[in-house]
A = this chain, B = another copy of it.
Amino acid sequence: MNKNLPQLAELYQNTLLQNVIPFWEQHSVDWDYGGYFSCLDRQGNVYDTDKFIWLQNRQVWMFSVFYNCLEQKEDWLTIARHGAEFLAKHGRDSDGNWYFALNRQGEPLVQPYNVFSDCFAAMAFSKYALASGESWAKEVALQAYHNVLRRQDNPKGKYNKAYPGTRSLKTMAVPMILANLTLEMDWLLSGEELETVLDRTVNEVMNDFLDAETGLLYENVTPDGSHLDCFDGRLINPGHGIEAMWFLMDIAHRRNDTQLINQAVDTILNILDFGWDKEYGGIYYFMDIKGHPPQQLEWNQKLWWVHLETLVALLKGYNLTQRKECWQWFERVHDYSWQHFSDKEYGEWFGYCDRRGEVILNLKGGKWKGCFHVPRALYLCWQELKRGQMFT
């Protein structure tokens, strides 16, 4: 191991501050109608003006976090406010559920067909309320959070296409996102509510979704945690599993739960052994636990967020356990990610590569990629690398 932690920390820091944040500051703010553009080509030109609620909320969250954690720059708070006010005005239906998409002007395009828009709204408004001190934003955050709790057992509501009763599956996405979201909300929740939700999500992920035999996280299991031999039941989403593990390590760290930390690190390493492409490098997007053909045609593509969340998870795992496998994997995923996704020329990172690692979409943002995974991961990796220097 040939670690140069200060130099690595600087790389993550500088890329965040000089390459990624400026990209979003310069290109994404819709000063005319409010909110943000997320559909930006390689150079930052807007190629579509629709406003996807996940990404709108995630950008509010991100600029609020910059303001809260990096520096109290008025410009950053202004950008966060610009999105928060647009979303508070246009983002919800008359029942308070968050739409999936709006047009540029803020008119609803896509109904609130799942609960994840509400998740990202709760995150966004929690951190925006902290940044701005505006108490109305707290109310928006708490209302969205309670929507999530209320709808968590039927996250798609009336848009659920599954026939009731024949095949009951629950998705890891719900407890996984609740683990992270609940910590993001900690200053707004009572200690009791917080601990109850955290207990339940940790328990559900590690008992129902983690498979004792393979050490892998399944994406969908029956309500009692057993496996079904069908497409959804065989699905492994390596990036999701690894991201879930760093959410749980955050909880475990807060609780000094060494056992949970070790279990999470073991799981990350298991997923990497299973999900790493031994021929071309990089982590697959979707896999079938039995090696059957997955439904998803994009299964063998390499996505930016999968690799960035893995970097975060490995550094957190390394700092908490000092296990050398974490560092070895970090170096491997770091090299792959910086080689294939970063774009020194125009800022931000590419999102989508084919199996061989060639960029297949000439974009920096779209319907699912916005101002979120890249800056969050760069920020968290920078912090962990700084913290790691204390151990050397």
Contact = CB atoms under 8 A, between A and B. Distances in A.
Interface of A: 39, 41, 47-48, 50, 99-100, 103, 107-111, 113, 158-159, 161-163, 166-167, 229-231, 290, 292-295, 297-301, 352, 354-355, 360-363, 366-367
Contacts of A158: 158
B109 A162 contact: yes
B162 A230 contact: no
A230 B352 contact: no
27 contacts: A39-B292, A41-B292, A47-B293, A48-B229, A48-B231, A48-B292, A50-B231, A99-B163, A107-B166, A108-B163, A109-B163, A110-B162, A110-B163, A111-B161, A111-B162, A113-B161, A159-B161, A231-B367, A293-B363, A294-B361, A295-B366, A295-B367, A297-B297, A297-B298, A297-B360, A299-B361, A354-B354
B292 A161 contact: no
Nearest to A352: B297
If over half of A's interface residues share one DSSP class (helix, strand or loop), that class is named, otherwise mixed; here it is loop
Residue of A162, A166, A297, A362 most packed against chain B (CB within 10 A): A297
A41 B291 CA distance: 11
Contacts of A293: 41, 47, 361-363, 366
Contacts of A100: 161
Contacts of A299: 360-361
A40 to B, nearest CB: 10
A298 B300 CA distance: 11
Contacts of A47: 290, 292-293
Instruction: Kindly list the 7 A-B residue pairs having the minimum CB-CB distance in the complex, ordered from nearest.
Output: A297-B298, A108-B163, A293-B361, A47-B292, A293-B363, A113-B161, A107-B166
Nearest to A103: B166
Contacts of A107: 163, 166
A21 B299 CA distance: 29
Contacts of A167: 103, 109
A86 to B, nearest CB: 16
